[in-house]
Amino acid sequence: MIGNIGPVQLLIILAIVLLIFGTKRIRSLGSDLGGAIKEFRKGMGDDNASDPKTDEASQASEDNDASDHSNNKHH
């Protein structure tokens, strides 16, 4: 039943939503949602920006450990 929703039914739903909430409220809801998505992406970008630093630090410590193990084998 719900899989048979076509474009005509979607337009009817959109018209009902517009009548209930009004264009100003829907416009502000859209801008609020857009701002929330922008902040979320910005937050995700900040997390990704800090990850390479920790990855580099862990890689450097692994390299040091590997060189220590190889030096111990030679002695």
Domain ranges of the chain: 26-51
State residue 42's pLDDT score.
93
pLDDT digits (tens), the chain, 75 positions:
567 889 999 999 999 999 999 989 989 999 999 999 999 999 998 765 555 555 555 555 555 555 555 555 555
> Which tokens in the block code for residue 47?
């997390």
State residue 4's pLDDT score.
85
State residue 70's pLDDT score.
52
Nearest 5°: the CA angle 26, 11, 34 is: 30
State residue 37's pLDDT score.
96
State residue 64's pLDDT score.
54
